[in-house]
Structure 1
């Protein structure tokens, strides 16, 4: 049974045997360890129990450093952590306890590593897009908490295993006026960048007049977002039901009262905990 490898076979496999997809055994002391797709735990065990791996200590340390750097990058990306995490005292102490030999990268180095990871993943996604025959897009304008405007464009397609797959093509800063002309120009630029101009079968947006007009100017089939449409139906139905207006107003006042009064909020918590 051979382990999958990305950068060549590690020297640690001279000291361990893969006995299950997620388990390895030390050939020196027969200790069994969990295997997570890398040799980090194997190196730790061998260094602690049997000393450095003969003539391969430097190579193993380099491999280990590379794997830990990659794990750090993945953590920052998947958990939306700031680059400044490597400067946090608590995080430094935690990492030092886990592995005193590991040197955290600087904030700038970590940023460069994340950018490189982004470029690698984007290149892979673009390669997939070249093989796909047809796609649909969703586009939406939104505003951040800092009042910065963005246009998000997402691509959907059916992969080789006949499963729906999604790729985020971009979240583009949009300081321009939200006109149909500007929106369609931005979406056209995204399609050209990803090489999918002739593959788009439809674009899904909300019912905003500028979004509808932008898709029309691209000469593509337009579909309204079902969730957005359903929300509008519920909202308009509530607005068109006079007998509910008084109830909604009173409920709104109750919620506002508890949100703006710390004393009321604390009293509410005591009653809810009973």
Structure 2
């Protein structure tokens, strides 16, 4: 392809050395793409990507994986230095801290700093996402958070810290001698989830939709049939959403999507050889009533999850 382009458009292709400013610009754009789109460093070895870059600017030579990694690390250090300089000027901050597990069940502690910038707007800086293989004790959490605060120079500036109601988090904040605010969003999630779990009439309503969604999620034939039916009905092609046990709002989203796609789901199931039963009209009436009841809680959850506005 490159040889053809050169042969046909040789006058337009400059195989000479690229200007240093242009190379710096393209290097920066490459780093931005890798960081913003979570691309692997190996993208610079992909044939299609190489061809695209060569057509865009034949003078530019892609860096190796190793060099690209060094460029990303350098950019990280530069941005971190800038963020630290901002932290030095800020007089008061608040923190949010959360323990979570990756899809591979690796544990992490994330600590975010919140403050008001020079333009009187809310701003945030992620102080760190720390691998946390050790025991999730208050002592270990306290040591990790204290280390981050020292590194970023926020000691003495923290007005409050928001965490969930876990005993280890509560004890850790107490050890740091900081004002503690429980995450209302987390508390709301716990209350609604316990209410859903304690309502016998909703158990069957949640179980059967899960089976329907699982069927369409795990069967390629079913997934394709649903897509065909949606297109035939001139409806947007939307995937079903599965419930996650730890998040009640996933129950809301599962029922909401299933209710919205009830006609296409019912038609698709009727065309497929399966023992999975579609929901009845009575089931959908109950689901609709449940959605109306949960809607205010869902909207509150969304609003409380805001990062750029006071919640």
Residues 74 and 262 (structure 1), Cα distance of their counterparts in 2 relative to 1, 3 Å cut: closer
Structure 1 residue 152: Cα displacement: 0.7
The DSSP-based 3-state class of the residue aligned with 1:81 is coil
Bigger RCO (CA 8 Å, 6+ sep)? 2
Residues 177 and 96 (structure 1), Cα distance of their counterparts in 2 relative to 1, 3 Å cut: same
Deviations along 1:177-198, whole A, 9 cap, x unmatched? Answer: 0111101110000000001010
The DSSP-based 3-state class of the residue aligned with 2:193 is helix
Which residue matches 1:198? 156
Larger proportion of helix = 2
TM-score (norm 1): 0.75
Structure 1 residue 240: Cα displacement: 2.6
CA distance in 1 between counterparts of 2:50 and 2:165 reads 49
Which residue matches 1:67? 25
Q: State yes or no: 1:165 paired with 2:123.
A: yes
Residues 160 and 246 (structure 1), Cα distance of their counterparts in 2 relative to 1, 3 Å cut: same
Of the candidates 72, 78, 81, which is equivalent to residue 120 of structure 1? Answer: 78
CA distance in 2 between counterparts of 1:266 and 1:67 reads 43
The DSSP-based 3-state class of the residue aligned with 1:257 is helix
CA distance in 2 between counterparts of 1:112 and 1:76 reads 12
Structure 1 residue 88: Cα displacement: 0.7
Residues 265 and 70 (structure 1), Cα distance of their counterparts in 2 relative to 1, 3 Å cut: closer
TM-score (norm 2): 0.67
Runs of 5+ in structure 1 lacking a partner?
Answer: 1-46, 52-56
More displaced 10-residue stretch of structure 1: 155-164 or 61-70: 61-70
RMSD: 2.2
The DSSP-based 3-state class of the residue aligned with 2:125 is strand
Which residue matches 2:201? 243
Runs of 5+ in structure 2 lacking a partner?
Answer: 1-10, 234-311
Of the candidates 132, 141, 161, which is equivalent to residue 174 of structure 1? Answer: 132
Residues 79 and 266 (structure 1), Cα distance of their counterparts in 2 relative to 1, 3 Å cut: closer
